[in-house]
Amino acid sequence: MAFPCIQRWCAAARRGRLGHVTEPWVLHVDLDQFIAAVEVLRRPELAGKAVIVGGRGDPTERAVVSTASYEARAYGVGSGMPLRIAARKVPDAIILPVDQDAYLAASEQVMAVLRSQPGATVQVLGWDEAFIGVQATDPEAYARQLQQAVLEETRLHCSVGIGDTLVRAKVATTFGKPAGVFRLTEDNWLDVMGSRLTIELWGVGTKVSRRLATLGIKTVAQLAASNPDDLVPEFGPKMGPWYAQLGRGDGSRTVDDTPWVARGHSRETTFQHDLTEPGQIDDAVRELAAHVLEDVAGEGRPVIGLTLKVRYVPFITKTYARKIPETSDPAEVLARTLDLMAKIEPDRPIRLLGLRAEMTMPADSREGHTPTRSGW
């Protein structure tokens, strides 16, 4: 299958660029403080102030921070932090409610700009980030031009990571923030990342970094040098070798722009006051299930699996799952969800903090695909 390479070689030769053949690069684009930036755009008077976006914008409620502006981050506020705590840390912060529609609209604008870049293959990862695959002789120049285009058309700043794999591009972006560009390849990966802790890797959190440490692996360099087989007893046949690969920054180099199709949908709520009465719980499950059904029905796809996740009072999560015969009948799905709910600790008093209802859809009703995590 040398044909595409020869074609590229010929094309390069035609342009008189032989000896400077264009290389395939992965770019990772990440909008800077995206949600806060969108809020500042429509309220310019907020520029330069400590802005915190979370929940319904009421710091007395149970909710967490979605995004904080850099000014608020200077006080130690970060996403995921309880809103109540954040408000205490920055007493004069401006606290705003989450407005998903506004962020989605801004996101679509940004993605349109990315797709309009010459030769770009765009793989969207979330509201505020995407991979871009591109052939370029000077990826930094390409990145700068891309940042300029995004800024001109959306008034939003972004950072760009350049890499020879998806993982390296993704990690590179953190060194480009804010509004910068950084390149991470096989050549400088260990120089830049080697002495850092494994938790700084994309896909390694507190639990896994702690388990790695018990194996004597604390730094990225140590993980990179580890034998993949040695990690199998602790992490299993897939995750073990995957972590070793992650330590080296290796993995897929392919940006996949196949349209995203969800595997399932879910809704979650946290109650402002714990639920204790069976009637309340019944109502909550019905309401949640109805919302998920709307999302599923909106795609015109059937349901094959149900999951209820129940958060009890001292932060215990219980899962109840059922495979069901494929159906598109909302009444049947609701009835089966209520069956599942009957399993919620019927025998002892309960206090519910929150509920999550999930519905999964058959794989063969999907047309697109996306790389699996272990594929990265």
Partner DNA sequence: TCTGGGGTCCTAGGACCC
**Site stretch for DNA (CB under 7 A), options 131-139, 157-165, 179-187, 196-204:** 196-204
Nearer of residues 50 and 324 to DNA, judged by Cβ: 324
Under 8 Å CB-to-CB from 293, ≥6 apart: which residues? 330, 333, 334, 359
List 80, 91, 346, 349, residue binding DNA (CB under 7 A) = 80
Residue 175 binding DNA, by CB under 7 A: no
Report in angstroms how near the CB of residue 362 gets to DNA at its nearest: 11
Does the annotation mark 277 as catalytic?
Answer: no
List 85, 141, 179, 335, residue binding DNA (CB under 7 A) = 85
Cα–Cα distances in Å, from 253 out to 145, 204, 229, 338, 353? 22, 20, 23, 45, 42
Catalytic annotation, pick one of 23, 129, 332, 358: 129
Q: Which of residues 260-279 bind DNA (CB under 7 A)?
A: 262-270
Residue 218 binding DNA, by CB under 7 A: no
**Site stretch for DNA (CB under 7 A), options 176-184, 203-211, 251-259, 279-287:** 203-211
Question: With CB under 7 A, what is the number of residues at the site for DNA?
Answer: 60
Q: Measure the CA dihedral 214/210/354/62, to 10°.
A: 150
Nearer of residues 139 and 240 to DNA, judged by Cβ: 240
SS3 content of the chain, % helix, strand, coil (to 5): 45, 25, 35
Report in angstroms how near the CB of residue 376 gets to DNA at its nearest: 9
Residue 295 binding DNA, by CB under 7 A: yes
Residue 61 CB coordination number (10 Å)? 13
Structure tokens that stand for 328 in this block: 């598109």
Residue 348 binding DNA, by CB under 7 A: no
Interatomic CA distance for residues 104 and 25, integer angstroms: 27
List 24, 57, 82, 330, residue binding DNA (CB under 7 A) = 82
Coil vs helix vs strand at 59: coil
Residue 351 binding DNA, by CB under 7 A: no
Report in angstroms how near the CB of residue 162 gets to DNA at its nearest: 17
The dihedrals phi and psi of 7, each to the nearest 5 degrees, come to -60, -45
Report in angstroms how near the CB of residue 18 gets to DNA at its nearest: 39
The dihedrals phi and psi of 232, each to the nearest 5 degrees, come to -65, -45
In 3D space, the residue among 310, 317, 366, 312 whose CA is nearest the CA of residue 337 turns out to be: 310
Residue 64 binding DNA, by CB under 7 A: yes
Report in angstroms how near the CB of residue 80 gets to DNA at its nearest: 4
The secondary structure of residue 200, as a DSSP letter, is: G
Interatomic CA distance for residues 306 and 360, integer angstroms: 7
Coil vs helix vs strand at 225: helix
Residue 128 binding DNA, by CB under 7 A: yes
Report the alpha-carbon angle 198-200-202, nearest 5. Answer: 100
Under 8 Å CB-to-CB from 376, ≥6 apart: which residues? 166, 167, 203, 251, 252
Residue 59 binding DNA, by CB under 7 A: no
List 48, 97, 126, 368, residue binding DNA (CB under 7 A) = 126
Residue 144 binding DNA, by CB under 7 A: no
| Catalytic residue ranges | 129
Give the footprint of DNA on this chain (CB under 7 A).
55, 62-64, 66, 79-80, 82, 84-85, 125-129, 170, 201-209, 235-240, 262-270, 291, 295, 305, 315, 317-323, 343, 353-354, 356, 358, 370, 372-374
